[in-house]
Chain A
Amino acid sequence: MAKITFDGIEVEVEDGTTILQAARKIGGDVVPPAMCFYTPLKGSGGKCRVCLVKVTQGSARDPRPMPKLVASCITPVQDGMVVENTTNEEVLNARKGIVEMLLINHPLDCPVCDQAGECDLQNLSYEHGVSATRYEEPRRTFDKVDLGPYIQLHMTRCILCYRCVYTADQITEKRVHGVLGRGDAAEIGTYIENVIDNDFSGNVIDVCPVGALTDKTWRFKNRVWFTKPMNAHRDCPTCSGKVTLWGRGDTVLRVTARKDEYAEVEEFICNTCRFDKKEMSDWTIEGPRHIDRGSVISANHYELPVVNVPIVPNLPKSTVKKMPTE
C-alpha cells in the first residue's frame, strides 16, 4: 500500500495505482480531467496531457520534486508522494494551454454537433479554457466518412485520443480501425473504406470524448438535453443488455451504454441493443438515470425525490441519492 497526499488530502491506495486513480478515489473537484485515459481500455492514456499534475515530492525515500509536470493517468504512485493539482498555478496554466492546443483544429460546431451537452471537450474548455481563440490560420478540414451503416466519423472534431482505436483492438477481434499519418496529418482511418462490421463496433461511439464518432440513427434527431435518460435492460444473447435509453415521450431516440461520473462505460453493449432495439416494448425500464445537477441534461429531468426512497421497494441503484451526512 502507498500513502500519497493529493491536493492536501491523504489517501491510501494499492501499489501500482496511477495518480489519477488515486485522485478518483478521493473524488470531487480535485480529480484531474482526462480526455484520452479510459479505465476499461488497456494501454489508453498519456496522449492528451490534460491530466498533468505537479509532483512536489517524489516519494518518502526520495523527496525531490519531479522536474516536469507528469501525466497523472500513466504515472504510478509511490509511498509518500505529494501531488498538487488544483492548488498549483503551474498546473492550471499548463492545462489552459493544452485546452487551447486541443481546440486549435476543433471546428467548434457545437450547435450542429450531436455530442453537445455531453461532450468532454465542451466541459473541459468550459472549465479550463479561455473564451477567445488566438489561432488565425485555417483549421484542417475533412469530409464526413461513413464507418459502416451506423457510425459516422467527423474527422474535423477528432482530438486523436486513440480511445476508439483501443476499443476496436480490444473489444473486436480483427483490427479494422486505426490512426493513419503522423502529427498534424494524423487521422482516424479504416484502412480504405473497410467497414466496421463487428458486433461491438458501436462502442467506439460511447468512448469518443468528442463528437467525432456519432450514431447515425440518432443524427440530428434531437438535442441530448431534451431527452430523458432511463436505465433499462433486456435479455441479450451477446451482451449484458444493461443500457441507458434516451427517449422523449414513448419513443426511444438513442441507446447507449451506462456511463459513470467520469463518462466511462460500465459495460460495453452490442450493436443489436444499440441500433436495432428502438421500441419501448423491447426494454424493461428500471427508472430514471441519475444526472449531475450541473449538467444541461438535468434541465426538466425528474428523479425520485429523496424522501420517498425508503418507502419505494426494490429501487434501482441509479435512483438512490446520497443523503447528506450529519
Chain B
Amino acid sequence: MTLSERMYLPAIAQGLGITLKHFFKKKATINYPEETRSRSEIWRGLHVLKRDENGAERCTACGLCAVACPAEAITMTAGERKKGEEHLYREEKYAVTYEINMLRCIFCGLCEEACPKAAIFLQDDKLAPARYERDEFIYGKDRLVEPLKTTETK
C-alpha cells in the first residue's frame, strides 16, 4: 500500500461524502398510512361484491368465479329468493354465503373476468390488511358486499 492508502484518511472522507450526499436526496420512504403511494390504474386489490343501481346484490351464486379461481379461494352457497326480497337480490337465485380466503387469493382477477353479472370486482384502492389470526382472512359477505348507499353519502 502507498502512504496515502495506509493513512485511510482519503477513504474516510470519501465515505463521509457519500453519507452527506444522501442528506440532500429525496426520501425513499413515505409516512404510511397517512400517505399512500399512487398505484397503477389496473391495480388489483381487495374484492367487492357490487350492487346494482337499485341497491340489489348482483351476485347470483353461479359459481363461475369459484371454478375460474386458480387458488380455489372462493366458496359459496346459493339460495332461492323469496317473495318480497326483490329489492335485496337482483335474480331469483342469490348467494347466501360467499367467502374468499384472502390468504389463498393471489389477486389475479380471473374471478372478475369470469363473472357474467358484473358482480365481483377487485378494487384499485383497497388492500387486505394484515391481521393476527388466520381465520380473520376469510372474508364473508359482511365484508365483501358493497355497503348500501344512503341519501347522505350519495
- Flag if B67 contacts A111 (CB, 8 Å): no
Residues of B within 8 A of A96 (CB): none
Contact with A along B105-119 (1 / 0, CB 8 A): 000000000001100
- Flag if A220 contacts B80 (CB, 8 Å): yes
- Flag if A110 contacts B116 (CB, 8 Å): yes
Q: Which residue of A lies closest to B79 (CB)?
A: A220
Q: Is the interface of A mostly helix, strand, loop or mixed?
A: loop
Bound complex: CA A150 to CA B91 (Å): 22
- Flag if B67 contacts A110 (CB, 8 Å): no
Determine if A296 is an interface residue (Cβ-Cβ < 8 Å): yes
Determine if A299 is an interface residue (Cβ-Cβ < 8 Å): yes
Residues of A within 8 A of B79 (CB): 220
Bound complex: CA A4 to CA B7 (Å): 101
Residues of A within 8 A of B78 (CB): 220-222
Contact with A along B43-81 (1 / 0, CB 8 A): 000000000000000001111101100000000001110
Q: Which residue of B lies closest to A112 (CB)?
A: B93
Contact with A along B78-106 (1 / 0, CB 8 A): 11100000000001110000000000000
Q: How many residues on chain B are close to A (CB under 8 Å)?
A: 15
Residues of A within 8 A of B60 (CB): 111-112
B104 to chain A, nearest CB (A): 15
Interface range, A side:
10 to 19
Bound complex: CA A109 to CA B78 (Å): 15
- Flag if B80 contacts A111 (CB, 8 Å): no
Given contacts A219-B80, A220-B79, A220-B80, contact A110 B63 (CB under 8 A): no
Q: Which residue of B lies closest to A109 (CB)?
A: B91
Residues of A within 8 A of B61 (CB): 220
Determine if A230 is an interface residue (Cβ-Cβ < 8 Å): no
Residues of B within 8 A of A109 (CB): 91
B52 to chain A, nearest CB (A): 14
Of B66, B91, B92, B117, which contacts A226 at CB under 8 A? B66
B2 to chain A, nearest CB (A): 72
B143 to chain A, nearest CB (A): 23
Residues of B within 8 A of A110 (CB): 62, 116
Bound complex: CA A220 to CA B91 (Å): 12
Given contacts A223-B67, A225-B67, A226-B66, contact A111 B92 (CB under 8 A): no
- Flag if A225 contacts B63 (CB, 8 Å): yes
- Flag if B91 contacts A112 (CB, 8 Å): yes
Bound complex: CA A223 to CA B93 (Å): 12
Chain A residues 215 to 243 lying within 8 A of chain B, measured CB to CB, are 219-223, 225-226
Given contacts A111-B60, A111-B91, contact A226 B67 (CB under 8 A): yes
Bound complex: CA A43 to CA B92 (Å): 36
Given contacts A220-B78, A220-B79, A220-B80, contact A111 B117 (CB under 8 A): yes
Bound complex: CA A111 to CA B91 (Å): 10
B38 to chain A, nearest CB (A): 36
- Flag if B62 contacts A116 (CB, 8 Å): yes
Residues of A within 8 A of B62 (CB): 110-112, 116, 223
26 A-B residue pairs with Cβ-Cβ distance under 8 Å, sorted by A, are: A109-B91, A110-B116, A111-B60, A111-B91, A111-B93, A112-B60, A112-B62, A112-B91, A112-B92, A112-B93, A116-B62, A219-B80, A220-B61, A220-B78, A220-B93, A221-B78, A222-B63, A222-B78, A223-B62, A223-B66, A225-B63, A225-B67, A226-B66, A226-B67, A296-B67, A299-B67
Residues of B within 8 A of A (CB): 60-64, 66-67, 78-80, 91-93, 116-117
Given contacts A223-B62, A223-B66, 11 further A-B contacts (CB under 8 A): A109-B91, A111-B62, A111-B91, A111-B117, A112-B62, A112-B92, A220-B78, A220-B80, A223-B67, A225-B63, A226-B66
